[in-house]
A = this chain, B = another copy of it.
């Protein structure tokens, strides 16, 4: 188990998931056995359906994804994903090293047939709900076909997990006209137009928060820059508010009210609610959580993993790609 607050938050969150579901499933805690057991000893964790699986090594944030794969074969990431591959687990979730989870998932689980590039997305709040942007950093350079695959996977995920019928798909570009953008997006535009997806054409940077499309596809360079920019907005506002609040006692009061109102207004921006982001396109269910995951985020990540398994997301992806190939 990984993340900045492991093992405490991870165990607390997973146990909460078991509590809420009356032990509907079993949790395998993967990590250094003695540390995990020490955290589990308190009496309140009795009666829950879990097991502890030893994995002695820890991938830390300074390891490169490749080094983690090669040198730490006994990390919780590798051991946990191997359990999933062998069928002893139906899904894998981690708040650990994102890059290592991404590459180890692809290596161990393999790709869904027809998928060239597995992807991770990012959830953006929007005026109409949530916008799933993908790729958010796994694939720096993309071919048009990859953008098309992201659209298929994002569309199925959104439809199944967010109960959106026939989700709209937009292609991130610098203008609405077909002729805009670089060669890759121009070609991707054609592929998306010929597809069975609910493709609404190019969307621009402003259309994400405005909620013009449920799913927005782009290469991982643009997506990653956008994701990190988006994550920095609340902190920027906080810092600006502080400066305003310094000016007088009245501004201090107004500022405090503002902050709580802003917090309410931004609730759906809250990563805790989504729990984490799925790696789409691998032969299995693997979810990456935020390094700073709270117990609530971990709980939701576990529940989302169960939901993805129940809803057979990968089966739907495979069907959609096979359908497209026959079309």
Contacts and interface: CB of A to CB of B under 8 A. Distances in A.
B225 A140 contact: no
Interface size band for A: 35 or more
A217 to B, nearest CB: 12
A237 B265 contact: yes
A195 B206 CA distance: 35
A123 B226 CA distance: 17
B231 A229 contact: no
Contacts of A172: 225
A137 B228 contact: no
Given A243-B265, A261-B255, A208 B221 contact: no
Given A140-B181, A222-B221, A251-B261, A229 B243 contact: no
Contacts of A204: 224-225, 228
Interface in A215-245: 218, 220-222, 224-233, 235-237, 239-241, 243-244
Interface string A156-180: 0000000000000000101000000
A226 B224 contact: no
A127 interface: yes
Contacts of A225: 172, 174, 204-205, 218, 222, 226
A210 interface: yes
A232 B216 CA distance: 16
18 contacts: A126-B236, A127-B236, A174-B224, A205-B224, A205-B228, A206-B228, A210-B232, A218-B225, A221-B222, A222-B222, A226-B226, A229-B229, A233-B233, A241-B261, A243-B265, A251-B261, A258-B258, A262-B262
Given A127-B239, A218-B225, A258-B262, 17 more contacts: A125-B236, A127-B240, A205-B227, A205-B232, A206-B228, A206-B232, A210-B235, A222-B222, A226-B229, A237-B262, A240-B266, A241-B261, A241-B265, A243-B265, A244-B261, A244-B265, A254-B257
